[in-house]
A and B are shown apart, each in its own frame.
Chain A
Amino acid sequence: MREITFREAIVEALDIALGRDPRVFLLGEDIGYYGGLFQATQGLLQKYGEDRVMDSPISESAIIGAGIGSAIVGMRPVVEIMNIDFMPVCMDQLVNQAAKMRYMFGGKMKIPMVIRCTCGAGRGAAAHHSQAIHAVFMHFPGLKIAIPATPHDVKGLLLTAIEDDNPVLFVEDKMMYNMKGDVPEGYYTVPFGQGVICHDGEDLTIVATLRMVHKALTVAKEMEEKGIGIEVVDPRTLCPLDKETIINSFKKTGKLIIVDEGNRIGNFGSEVASIIAEEAVEYIQAPIIKVTAPHIPVPYSPVLEKYYIPDEDRIREAVHKVLEYA
């Protein structure tokens, strides 16, 4: 299969959606003439024109508000908030309006809106442009959250998101835009709520998100040579969450590590650990360990920032700790 980058896969998905459905349009800062901060909308303005690919003023509230309004009247907006760090600026519109409207109006109104945003540290962009706060949004019923980890999944999930009748927060790890991978040509979708087992193993389960999937895979491949089987599960969407795949893998291994770049408290991993404690307690063979960023703002210093991001060493450390119980 042909290999393209994560970024190119996004452009392809948007291109297909714009081509298939005249209700789809894009709105965001610098997504038009500039092609997006990460070039993830490159060439689309030229192809579809200013009516379908719109540069917006620097106002998150305006972007989300326009998205919600147009969705109410039947459009399918794909809006971009450049960094997930900015989401709190338009938090009320998202969590109190977009997420609740369909429910509060008795289903008479739908908000088929996709909010694309980037997350993650590693570019020296400091505490306002580096966070991985995707787990925050899990708390709000009415929102769906996609967290693609491969070029294949980002294209398929984005097309699913655009076709979904509910608001979807579509989180892109900004350190993955140049990652290459096999991507089928043309239209296909990846369903929400279906995790994927990226690496089989019998001894230990690692649930990882976004870029952390690849770090977990590196460790899993290393450990495989040592005869330790690590099963790596990528949930692909946080809401809905594929509990079944996680629980089934856990029932098999009895040991769990969750790797997620979010801050430690209220991390996605905390939710997974809680699910296991509630639904599979009798299978627990070892402490459940979260490998996360520490509970601090993302540091600006490159040295500290590197230390902040969970890495393979920290995963290895967790694996060794868990294997004390093997």
Chain B
Amino acid sequence: MPVEVVLPALGLTVEKGIIIKWLKKEGEKVNKGESLYEVETDKVTTEVESPASGILRKILVPEGVEVPILTVVAVITDGKEELPEKYRPMVVEKSEKKVEAEIPIGQESSVFMTSGSTKIKVLPAARRLAKEKGVDLKVIRGSGPGGSILLKDVESYLAKGIQSGPKILTTPTARKLAEREGISLSSIKGTGISGRVMKADVMEAMSPPKAAGLKMKPFETKVSPVSKYRLGQIIPMNSIRKVIAKRMAQSKYTAPHIYFFNDVDMEKLLALREEFLTEVDQNHGIRISMNDFFIKATALTLLEYPLLNSKVSGDEIHIFPEIHIGLAVAMEDGLIVPAIPKADQLGLTEIALHRADLVERARQAKLTIEEMGRGTFTISSLAQFDITFFTAILNPPQSGILTLGKVELKPVVKSGQVVVRRIMRQGLSVDHRIIDGTVAAAFLQSLKKKLENPFTTFFKL
């Protein structure tokens, strides 16, 4: 069976790559994990490892040619088997150095994302600094020879990180007041000209939140208010959209979805968050969001119901060995789901730091394949919209996805009395092939219980 070698998705916004060098010749033996070729994109230059062991039977894309990601660039076979007709080497006009090649029809891979890890060239000094500062080298673009990462690349990455916070416009009085009260200006929405933070805004931020004017930190989203599209327009899908389209269709057509909803009384959880929001902010420089609580609570519930942390593989159910909670992050053009690793084992602050970092880097298109692909369960929130509840399509190969609607004031009956409470409706979609209604219902019920009793959930004694 021939194994297709594809140009991996090397970053979120990377759509194309140039194969700079084939490290193996046609007919040469390759082992799985061995470096097969070097690819250069507008972001990185890196080596791609062979997805299988065998003979590098045919190179389809020659050196120096730019092709879209997920293009089949070579075929590996285990012997002398006949190669199907469709594997034809790309014909390139010799005169041009960089050629944007047309992919012959039928050669687009069915693989969504290769897991073939890539080797990064790093100078020792750069590696030391990155280690010291906890920078993932995979997100840094090397500017040295052969795309190697130099010390200055790490330095400039760090410098960017420091400056990357948007510049906050503020009046001097507001700044002084905020400093005195220990309120982070970035957490305040300015009401002045061009969103300038005014003294009144800081004072409002200081006063305890009112029950009604509830400001939940939504899932970080960036949605442009004005549509950039116009009627009658025909838009070619970019590679990310194509991937999303395929994955969503694949998921919906192969996994029969069933949906469950219940209402969660958020009063205690919101109160708890208020209580240590400032402290965590001051001590760790991070604002714990509601999502961080959901991530943690979901991870803990998955420990009780591991079946929801699984995937279908042929005739088997594979329960993932670890719990990585994916977080749907809306991008201008699409949606990605970076995952917080081992969320069941992390503290809330750690989750918050991870979440902030992943979301920030998602925006900068600096996530790694690993971060985007490791999720075992997904949470999707539209809490910042006026949406009561919604259903979601499973993020393949996962078997469960949690959806979060907005928190709203609702009359509820407590001890025979009608009272006003802050209520959120959560939803769960599961793959009915392997998860039955009772299991899903029990999961959702357990999660609700955890969210409604946050002290016992989040403070293990």
Q: B-contacting residues of A (Cβ < 8 Å)?
A: 254, 281-286, 324-326
Query: B123 to nearest A CB, angstroms?
Result: 5
List 15 extra interface pairs beyond A285-B150, A326-B150, CB under 8 A: A254-B125, A282-B124, A282-B125, A282-B127, A283-B125, A283-B128, A284-B123, A285-B123, A285-B124, A285-B125, A285-B126, A324-B144, A324-B145, A325-B144, A325-B148
Q: A324-B144, A325-B123 are contacts. A282–B150 as well, Cβ < 8 Å?
A: no
Q: How far is the CA of A286 from the CA of B144 in the complex (A)?
A: 9
Contacts of A284 in B (CB 8 A): 123-125
Rounded to whole angstroms, the CA-CA distance of A113 and B63 in the bound complex is: 64
Instruction: Kindly state whether residue B151 has any CB partner on chain A within 8 Å.
Output: yes
Interface residues of B in 139-158 (CB under 8 A from A): 144-145, 148, 150-152
Separation in Å of the B25 CB from the closest CB of chain A? Answer: 27
23 example contacts (A-B, Cβ-Cβ < 8 A) are as follows: A254-B125, A254-B151, A281-B124, A282-B124, A282-B125, A283-B124, A283-B125, A284-B124, A284-B125, A285-B123, A285-B124, A285-B125, A285-B126, A285-B150, A285-B151, A286-B123, A286-B150, A324-B145, A325-B123, A325-B144, A325-B148, A325-B150, A326-B152
Q: In the docked arrangement, what's the CA distance between A281 and B122, Å?
A: 12
Which of chain B's residues has its CB closest to A254's CB? Answer: B125
Give the CA-CA distance A138 to B264 in the complex, in Å: 78
A281 to B145, CA, bound (A): 19
Bound CA–CA A284/B124 (angstroms): 5
Query: Could you say which residues of chain B place their CB within 8 Å of the CB of A283?
Result: 124-125, 128
**A277 CB to nearest B CB, Å:** 9
What's the least CB distance linking B286 to chain A, in Å?
29
A279 nearest CB across to chain B (Å): 12
A326–B125 Cα distance when bound, in Å, is 12
Distance between Cα atoms of A285 and B111 in the complex (Å): 38
Q: Which residue of A lies closest to B127 (CB)?
A: A282
Q: How far is the CA of A216 from the CA of B124 in the complex (A)?
A: 26
Nearest Cβ in chain B — how far from A274, in angstroms?
15
Closest to A282 in B: B128
A282 to B126, CA, bound (A): 8
CB distance from A116 to the nearest CB of B (A): 41
Chain A min CB distance to B143 (Å)? 9
Q: How far is the CB of A326 from chain B (nearest CB, A)?
A: 7
Residues of A within 8 A of B124 (CB): 281-285
User: Shortest distance in angstroms between A218's beta carbon and chain B's nearest beta carbon?
Assistant: 26
In the complex, which of the residues B125, B148, B150 has the most CB atoms of chain A within 10 Å of its own CB atom?
B125
Which residues of chain A have C-beta atoms less than 8 A from B123's C-beta?
Answer: 284-286, 325
For residue B128, which residues in chain A have a CB less than 8 angstroms away from its CB?
282-283
Q: How far is the CA of A254 from the CA of B150 in the complex (A)?
A: 11
Name B128's closest neighbour in chain A (CB-CB). A282
Which partner residue on chain A sits nearest B132 by CB separation? A282
Which residues 117-173 of B sit at the A interface, judged by CB distance below 8 A? 123-128, 144-145, 148, 150-152
**Shortest 4 CB-CB distances between A and B: which pairs?**
A282-B128, A284-B124, A285-B125, A285-B151
Q: Which residues from A are CB-within-8-Å of B127?
A: 282
A324 to B127 Cα, complex, angstroms? 18
Q: From B125, which residue of chain A is reached at the shortest CB distance?
A: A285
Q: How far is the CB of B272 from chain A (nearest CB, A)?
A: 44
Q: Complex: how many Å from CA A324 to CA B125?
A: 15
Q: Please give the distance in Å from A321's CB to the nearest CB on chain B.
A: 9
Q: How far is the CA of A112 from the CA of B459 in the complex (A)?
A: 76
> Within 8 Å CB of B151, what residues of A?
254, 285
Q: Mark B160-196, 1 if CB is under 8 A from A, else 0.
A: 0000000000000000000000000000000000000
Considering the chains assembled together, what is the distance between the CA atoms of A285 and B152 in angstroms?
9
Identify which of A281, A286, A324 gathers the most chain B CB atoms within 10 Å of its CB.
Answer: A286
CA distance A286 to B152 in the complex (A): 11
A204 to chain B, nearest CB (A): 13
How distant is the Cα of A159 from the Cα of B419 in the complex, in angstroms?
Answer: 99
Residues of chain B with a CB closer than 8 A to A254's CB: 125, 151
Min C-beta distance of B148 to chain A, whole Å = 8
Closest CB of chain A to B223's CB: distance in Å? 42
Look across to chain A and name the residue whose beta carbon is closest to the beta carbon of B124: A284
Which residues of B have CB within 8 Å of A325? Answer: 123, 144-145, 148, 150
A56 to B125, CA, bound (A): 55
CB neighbours of A282 from chain B (8 A)? 124-125, 127-128
Q: Chain B's nearest CB lies how many Å from the CB of A289?
A: 13
Query: Measured between alpha carbons, how far is A254 from B152 in the docked complex, in Å?
Result: 11
B219 CB → nearest A CB, Å: 40
Q: Which residue on chain A has the smallest CB distance to residue B123?
A: A285
Interchain nearest-CB distance for B141 vs A (Å) = 15
Distance of A325 Cα from B153 Cα, bound (Å): 10
Say how far A54's CB is from chain B's closest CB, in angstroms. 54
Complex CA distance for A281 and B125, rounded to whole angstroms: 7
Contact residues in A for B152 (Cβ distance below 8 Å): 326
* B87-127 at interface with A (beta carbon < 8 Å): 123-127
B150: A residues at CB distance < 8 A: 285-286, 325-326
What separation, in Å, do the CA atoms of A319 and B288 have in the docked complex? 50
CB A214 to nearest CB in B, in angstroms, measures: 29
Given the complex of chains A and B, what is the CA–CA distance between A283 and B124 in angstroms?
6
Q: What residue in chain B is nearest A286 (Cβ atoms)?
A: B123
Q: Which of A283, A284, A324, A325 has the most CB of B within 10 A?
A: A325
When chains A and B are docked, how far (Å) is the Cα of A225 from the Cα of B276?
Answer: 58
A285 partner residues in chain B, CB cutoff 8 A? 123-126, 150-151
Complex Cα distance, B151 from A176, in Å, reads: 39
A284, B150: Cα distance in complex, Å: 10
B363 to chain A, nearest CB (A): 30
Taking the closest CB of chain A, its distance from the CB of B156, in whole angstroms, is 13
